[in-house]
Amino acid sequence: MVTSRQARGKFANAFAAFVQTDVPYKLAVMMCGFLPAQLAAALVIWWTTRESGVVRMEVLDESLLYGIGVVAFGLVISWVATARHWPGKPVLYVALALYSSYMVHLVHVLGMWSTPYLMLVPVVAFVCGVVFGPRAGWFSLGASSVLIVVTEVLRFSGVLEYAPAVRHDAIGSSPNAWWVASAVFPLAGFVIGTFTMTMAVVLAAEIQARRLDMQAETLRRSHAMIRRYVPSQVVDAVVAGGESVTAHERRKVTVFFSDIVGFTEMVDRMEPEELSRVLNDYFTAMTLIAEKYDGTIDELIGDAVLILFGAPSTTNDRDHAMRGVRMALDMQASVGRLNAEWMNAGIDAEMRVRMAIDTGVVTVGNFGSSGRMKYAALGRAVNVAARLQTLAEPGRLLVSHPTFLLVREAVAYVEKGEVELKGVHHPIRTYEIEAMVP
């Protein structure tokens, strides 16, 4: 059984879907509903005003027929526009202009300032704004206002008569019941219809807001899930537009590389459950620290960690190097804390990590196939950082000369001399970073 709430929801959904349709189709549907409503209103007005005895029916009949003709004409041109795919807005504005002229004409023949039908003008403008958009609402209100001003200017000039449909002896007299009914019944129906449409708009807005909230929550969860597999900076860049990550470009970056000492022996020695916990703890801690310093985690493979500073987001060379060194020292301290936690938990997993940093120009961007892409850095600096890491003392940080030049005033260090690296044609001067200095 459908509840009233479900029925309201279905009605609001249908109305929201209707508002999103093409302008000619909306106009055609509106006119289909308006035509019988206009006929019914005209019949009520005609019958009640005739019984009131205060109206010249020959004048009012022309006005009522004009209104029916306007709605019928709007129905025809809207359906033709829908069938022939005409531009919707010109057709809409023609129909609104004609209906505005009808409303002003009806108000004029019954007395501009002595009939409640004047309220039709803002009500129709509101309905047009809801269904066709704010511009249509303002157009309807503006067109009616201009016609009212023109009509009143002509009346004060003596060209037009005030309330030509009302007998002169009835103007200013107490209205009888039929005269009141001629205004109250049609206006009441119009107001009720407008109120119903307003409630539909409110319900549709509430449903849309709930949908947006659900979509936002789904998007938030999706982003959180994606960030577990893709660097946060890359996710943010893709969401922001993607140009900075889809195109390959040359960037000067600082590259961090680390490796666990004796990882193969650790895998052989430890139970799978303990090894899983140790690695999860380690990578979780390293990831949090990398995010703290806004590093881009490029690789988490086996026991190796590769982190970039300066891609895809960039500041300046010195800041990249400083953040990389601070992050590495923070990671070494974190490994010490993890060793203590594992020992207290009865896990024999004393971990030592070699770390190295180099600064240089690399190519960054998406690499792979059209079906599977990966943001990565390719170049000499990546190779140097990976090679230097193998020469670092366990639990220590080794940096190249380009990185050292950017951080030398902020660190305590020991010069380690030049080293030859496989695949690198020139010797690399190296420095062991001991701590940051105040």
pLDDT in tens, 325-352: 999 999 999 999 999 999 998 888 889 9
Q: How far is CA 13 from CA 7, 162, 246, in A?
A: 10, 46, 39
Mean pLDDT for all residues in the chain: 80
Domains and CATH numbers, the chain: 4-219 (no CATH), 243-436 (3.30.70.1230)
Entry pTM: 0.54
Give me the pLDDT at residue 312, please: 86
pLDDT in tens, 263-322: 888 888 888 888 889 999 999 899 999 989 999 888 877 788 999 999 888 899 999 999
Omega of the bond leading into 312 within 30 degrees of 0 (cis): yes
Q: Output the six-digit token pair for 253.
A: 């970056």
Residues 99-107 have a mean pLDDT of 87
pLDDT in tens, 72-96: 888 888 888 878 888 878 888 998 8
pLDDT in tens, 215-226: 777 767 766 665
Q: Output the six-digit token pair for 65.
A: 């027929």
Query: How confident is residue 193, by pLDDT bands cut at 50, 70 and 90?
Result: low
Q: Is residue 247's pLDDT more than 80? A: no
Query: How confident is residue 63, by pLDDT bands cut at 50, 70 and 90?
Result: confident
Q: How far apart are CA 237 and CA 240, in angstroms?
A: 5
First to last CA, the chain: 73
